[in-house]
Amino acid sequence: MSVVIIGGNERMECKYKSICREYGCDAKVFTKVAGRLYDQIGSPDLIVLFTNPVSHTMAKAARSKAAQGKIALVQSHCGSGNALRNILAKV
């Protein structure tokens, strides 16, 4: 399963990837705006949007991509490792 994580804490980027590996997922993590985010997201199975530590531009791109690509979108206010674990355990 492929997962794209948008938002969260920049220092947690490696941790997010290792948590995803624990659940057998490949992960891309975008903690900062980098170019055309909409195009970089690709077509994952799941988009995780950490809403508290994310810019409005990034959130809009994630929601738009999920709606147009019919991709599952899970939003969480908290960008912690435990929040990501809970999301992946439910999917």
The domain ranges of the chain are 1-45+80-91
Reading phi first (left if > 0) and then psi (alpha if -120 to 50, else beta), residue 56 is in alpha
The Cα–Cα gap between 6 and 75 comes to: 10
Reply yes or no on whether the pLDDT at 34 is more than 80: no
This prediction's pTM = 0.93
Per-residue pLDDT tens over the stretch 44-71? 999 999 998 888 999 999 999 999 999 9
